[in-house]
Amino acid sequence: MAKGWNIDVTPDEEQNEDFEVAEANWASLLFFLACDTQWRVAGTFGGLFWVGLDYAACDVIARRLQVPDAAWADLKMMEGAALPVLNEKPS
């Protein structure tokens, strides 16, 4: 289970899947989930502001996991999609 995101990425034939991940995107998803502790966050008077991923730390993860270079573009796309959600102000 990926810490922080509460997503179980272990394949389980008996588990009902809420979404499918194309095999071509699997390495990118695992890379993104492995970087879940590498978010840069700034504290402001209005609360926390998620700035983005620490790319230097993510590079270490990429090298350790031997992630393909193409996964970087996917990581940046997922980061861009996650930031508005993370910075959403509660109603």
Q: What is the pLDDT of residues 33-67, one digit of tens each?
A: 999 999 999 998 888 899 999 999 999 999 999 99
Say if 52 falls within a structural domain: yes
**Greater pLDDT, 5 or 60:** 60
Say if 74 falls within a structural domain: yes
Q: What is the mean pLDDT of the chain?
A: 86
Per the structure, the complete domain to which residue 54 belongs is given by 23-80
Say if 58 falls within a structural domain: yes
User: Over the stretch 23-36, which tens digit does the pLDDT of each residue have?
Assistant: 999 999 999 999 99
- Kind of pairing between the strands at 39-44 and 47-53: antiparallel
Mean pLDDT, rounded, for 6-30: 75
Mean pLDDT, rounded, for 60-78: 95
Say if 46 falls within a structural domain: yes
Say if 7 falls within a structural domain: no
Task: Extract long-range pairs of 62-71: CB within 8 Å, 24+ residues apart.
Answer: 62/31, 65/30, 65/31, 65/34, 67/27, 67/28, 67/30, 67/31, 68/27, 70/28, 71/27, 71/28, 71/31
Say if 5 falls within a structural domain: no
**Greater pLDDT, 82 or 12:** 82
* Overall number of domains in the chain: 1
Say if 67 falls within a structural domain: yes
Say if 4 falls within a structural domain: no
